[in-house]
């Protein structure tokens, strides 16, 4: 049974310079019509792919908190109307911009069963925030997190980035120092990746973007790992760190290679053995919903070989790695029978290590993770 659902709200007050997610400016968009189309997709999805209670819900974007109160209320009611979940047991995450949450919105989220907030902070350096196109500033983060705690939220995550233009090690260290004082439960820390069709990509092509070297970026990652461990945050995945009991259950759905619903423009889903991609442009998304009931523009039946490959390159993102027992139970073959050569090669390079129960990245392997993952793709 499918236990996880992702909902995509593609609207933003401002587009960040590094972002390549499916998003549009909020102003002047058919937001109400889009939310109605999302509700239709919810209804049709749960009718076609019945499941029991959801265990994790994640609302991302875009910026979900850019919605006005009435729109937010309609959207949350739609989720409750079409999906079954226990509000006392579900992990219900909402992405938020630090300068777009009011007490009224926080209260509405809390009453709807949202129990986890994920703030896109990125850095506490105001100059850097301006450079990367963020609209909030350090004081917004401090104020909003305090407000969220007062509203009763006890599971708060912060997104941080390193490898940003003109960012230094000391600058990152300052950001981490401030972050740890906030006493939140979870951090995601990602290196900047320059994606096509972003402001940063165009600047890089014009040689107008000053980025840290690969060596400096690796040093930043080492600093993040070291500091997270020092302050009691367990690194349970390449880019994610949590206090005990606060690992993201929703993200673990992806890394455990389990199925999930994906609702909204540009959302991906993995249901009944098929990976589906929804139309990204709002008009196309809404038209497909109206015409066919589903917004799929791609649908792929995952083969057994692909499932085993995904089990490896997704599972190796986790610090504990890939469980030999789980692999054998899922695919009725041992992991060494399928990937023995690749495992041996990566162990010889010092990028993988093996315990009685798991195969996992070494410390050096975490720094070169993409190389390791690539070794398990397209080889069966």
pLDDT per residue as tens, the chain (380 positions): 999 999 999 998 776 655 656 667 678 899 999 999 999 999 999 999 999 999 999 999 989 999 999 999 999 999 999 999 999 999 999 999 998 899 999 999 999 999 999 999 999 999 999 988 888 899 999 999 999 999 999 999 999 999 999 899 999 999 999 999 999 999 999 998 877 876 666 776 777 777 899 999 999 999 999 999 999 999 999 999 999 999 999 999 999 999 999 999 999 999 999 999 999 999 999 999 999 999 999 999 999 999 999 999 999 999 999 999 999 999 999 999 999 999 999 999 999 999 999 999 999 999 999 999 999 998 76
Q: Are strands 186-191 and 234-237 parallel, antiparallel or unpaired?
A: unpaired
Q: Which two tokens stand for residue 335?
A: 């992991």
Q: Residue 100 — φ and ψ, nearest 5°?
A: -125, 15
62: cis peptide before it, omega within 30°?
Answer: yes
Cα–Cα dist 45/262, whole Å: 9
The predicted model scores a pTM of 0.95
Helical spans, DSSP H, in 94-137: 103-111, 126-131
Residue with tokens 């401002």: 14
Provide the 10 A C-beta neighbour count for residue 285.
Answer: 25
The rounded distance, in Å, linking the Cα atoms of 253 and 314 is 10
| Sheet of 91-96, strand order | 234-237, 240-242, 186-191, 156-162, 116-122, 91-96, 56-61, 4-9, 261-263
Beta bridge partners of 329: none
Tell how far CA 289 is from the center of its chain. 25
Query: Three-state DSSP class for 6?
Result: strand
- Smallest Cα–Cα separation from 171: which of 131, 136, 140, 198? 131
* Domains of the chain, CATH where assigned: 4-255 (3.20.20.70), 304-374 (1.10.10.920)
Alpha helices in the chain (DSSP H): 31-48, 69-82, 103-111, 126-131, 138-150, 169-181, 199-205, 214-230, 249-255, 282-292, 304-315, 324-331, 335-348, 363-367, 369-374
Q: How many CB atoms lie within 10 A of CB 21?
A: 15
């Amino acid at each position: 049974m499918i236990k996880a659902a992702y909902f995509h709200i593609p609207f933003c007050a401002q587009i960040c310079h590094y972002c390549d997610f499916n998003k549009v400016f909020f102003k002047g968009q058919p937001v109400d019509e889009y939310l109605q189309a999302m509700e239709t997709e919810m209804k049709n999805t749960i009718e076609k792919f019945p499941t029991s209670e959801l265990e994790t819900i994640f609302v991302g974007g875009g910026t979900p908190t850019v919605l006005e109160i009435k729109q937010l209320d309609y959207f949350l009611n739609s989720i409750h109307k079409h999906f079954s979940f226990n509000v006392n047991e579900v992990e219900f995450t909402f992405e938020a911009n630090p300068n777009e949450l009011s007490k009224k919105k926080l209260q509405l989220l809390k009453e709807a069963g949202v129990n986890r907030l994920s703030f896109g902070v990125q850095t506490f350096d105001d100059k850097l925030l301006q450079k990367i196109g963020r609209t909030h500033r350090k004081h917004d983060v401090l104020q909003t997190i305090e407000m969220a705690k007062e509203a009763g939220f006890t599971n708060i995550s912060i997104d941080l980035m390193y490898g940003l233009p003109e960012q230094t090690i000391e600058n990152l260290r300052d950001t981490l120092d401030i972050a740890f004082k906030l006493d939140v439960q979870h951090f995601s820390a990602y290196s900047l990746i320059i994606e096509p069709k972003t402001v940063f990509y165009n600047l890089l092509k014009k040689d107008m973007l000053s980025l840290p070297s690969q060596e400096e970026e690796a040093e930043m990652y080492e600093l993040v790992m070291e500091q997270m461990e020092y302050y009691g945050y367990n690194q349970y995945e390449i880019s994610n760190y949590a206090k005990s009991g606060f690992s993201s259950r929703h993200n673990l759905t992806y890394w455990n290679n389990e199925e999930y619903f994906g609702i909204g423009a540009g959302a991906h889903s993995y249901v009944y053995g098929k990976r589906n991609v929804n139309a990204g442009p709002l008009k196309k998304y809404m038209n497909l919903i109206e015409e066919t009931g589903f917004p799929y523009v791609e649908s792929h039946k995952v083969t057994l070989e692909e499932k085993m490959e995904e089990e490896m390159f997704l599972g190796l993102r986790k610090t504990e790695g890939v469980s030999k027992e789980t692999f054998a139970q899922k695919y009725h073959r041992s992991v060494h029978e399928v990937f023995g050569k690749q495992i041996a090669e990566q162990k010889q390079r010092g990028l993988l290590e093996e315990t009685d129960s798991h195969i996992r990245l070494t410390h050096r392997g975490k720094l070169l993770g993409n190389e390791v993952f690539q070794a398990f793709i397209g080889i069966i």
